[in-house]
Amino acid sequence: MSIFKADKKFEKFEDVTPELLKKEGVKLLLCDLDNTLRLHSEKEPADELADWIDECRKAGVKIVIVSNNGRKKMMQKFCEPIKVPCVWWAKKPMSTKLTEAIQKYGFKPSETVMLGDKWSTDVLAAKFAKIRSYKVEHRRNIV
């Protein structure tokens, strides 16, 4: 697999279905936040995001948000109602925080995927962490 390519591409996070994750053997989904799970301006989780996270959870997929956003309080406030752990200031494309999350929650790299909108941070960090990457379109372009 080329370093320039994500393993799979989607238009939006909603297209990454629990059925697909199950079929692909994904048990831990590390998610970028800005322009992947929300528009940069959204202060609260949208209903479609809360629903998608619930569905993934029911399918046995653990979701952890791994963001380069450094606004800790904003991120905690955003993630609290959806009950998803978050890592802020992750410094992607460095893979340190991805690897830490994989170890902290007790998964294998082979059952982990990084989902994000940017090649230069999300996809590359996944390559460095030796996990699969799923890329979505920059969210502001499609909603």
* Binding segment (CB under 5 A) for Mg ion, from list 26-34, 48-56, 57-65, 95-103: 26-34
How many CB atoms neighbour CB 92 within 10 A?
26
Task: Write down the least CB distance from residue 114 to Mg ion, Å.
Answer: 11
Distance CA 126, CA 119 (A): 10
> Among 6, 32, 102, 135, which residue interacts with Mg ion (rule: CB under 5 A)?
32
Shortest Cβ 116–Mg ion spacing (Å): 6
Residue 80: count of CB within 10 angstroms of its CB: 11
Segment contacting Mg ion by CB under 5 A, of 28-36, 39-47, 71-79, 96-104: 28-36
Name the segment binding Mg ion (CB under 5 A); options: 19-27, 35-43, 49-57, 90-98.
35-43
Q: Which of 10, 35, 100, 128 binds Mg ion (CB under 5 A)?
A: 35
How many residues belong to the site for Mg ion (CB under 5 A)? 5
Question: By CB under 5 A, is residue 129 in contact with Mg ion?
Answer: no
Q: Give the E-state strand segments of 6-139 in sequence order.
A: 8-10, 28-31, 62-66, 86-87, 112-116, 132-136
Q: How many Cβ atoms from other residues are within 10 Å of residue 7's Cβ?
A: 16
- Distance separating alpha carbons of residues 30 and 93, to the nearest angstrom: 13
Instruction: Determine the interface stretch with Mg ion among 21-29, 36-44, 80-88, 102-110 (rule: CB under 5 A).
Output: 36-44
Residues 70, 34: contact at Cβ < 8 Å?
A: no
Q: Rounded distance, CA 39 to CA 34, Å?
A: 6
Question: Does residue 34 touch Mg ion according to CB under 5 A?
Answer: yes
6 binds Mg ion (CB under 5 A): no
Question: Contact positions toward Mg ion, by CB under 5 A?
Answer: 32, 34-36, 117
